[in-house]
């Protein structure tokens, strides 16, 4: 049972580390990606909203 608890605690620790991890260079392209998504999907959202 102690081994299972250790494995569980280690997996929780690793998961926390991965959750906080950021890809190198992502912050540099984040604004560009958001703009691309807005341009691509905003017209569709507006169309769906206006047709309702």
Q: Is residue 42 part of a domain?
A: yes
Nearest to 33 by CA among 45, 21, 25, 43: 25
pLDDT computed for residue 27 by the predictor: 81
pLDDT computed for residue 36 by the predictor: 92
Q: Is residue 12 part of a domain?
A: no
Q: Is residue 18 part of a domain?
A: no
What is the tally of structural domains in the chain? 1
Q: Is residue 45 part of a domain?
A: yes
Q: Is residue 5 part of a domain?
A: no
Q: Is residue 37 part of a domain?
A: yes
Q: Is residue 39 part of a domain?
A: yes
Residue 34, domain extent? 24-52
pLDDT computed for residue 44 by the predictor: 63
Tokens 């959750």 -> residue: 19
Q: Is residue 43 part of a domain?
A: yes
pLDDT tens column, 1-52 = 899 999 999 999 888 877 777 778 888 888 999 999 998 888 665 556 555 4
Q: How wide is the angle at C-alpha 30 spanned by C-alphas 24 and 32, nearest 5°? A: 130
| pTM score, whole prediction | 0.39
């Amino acid at each position: 049972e102690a081994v299972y608890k250790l494995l569980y605690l280690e997996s929780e620790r690793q998961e926390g580390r991965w959750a906080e991890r950021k890809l190198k260079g992502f912050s540099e392209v984040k604004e560009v990606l958001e703009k691309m998504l807005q341009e691509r999907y905003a017209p569709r959202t507006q169309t769906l909203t206006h047709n309702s």
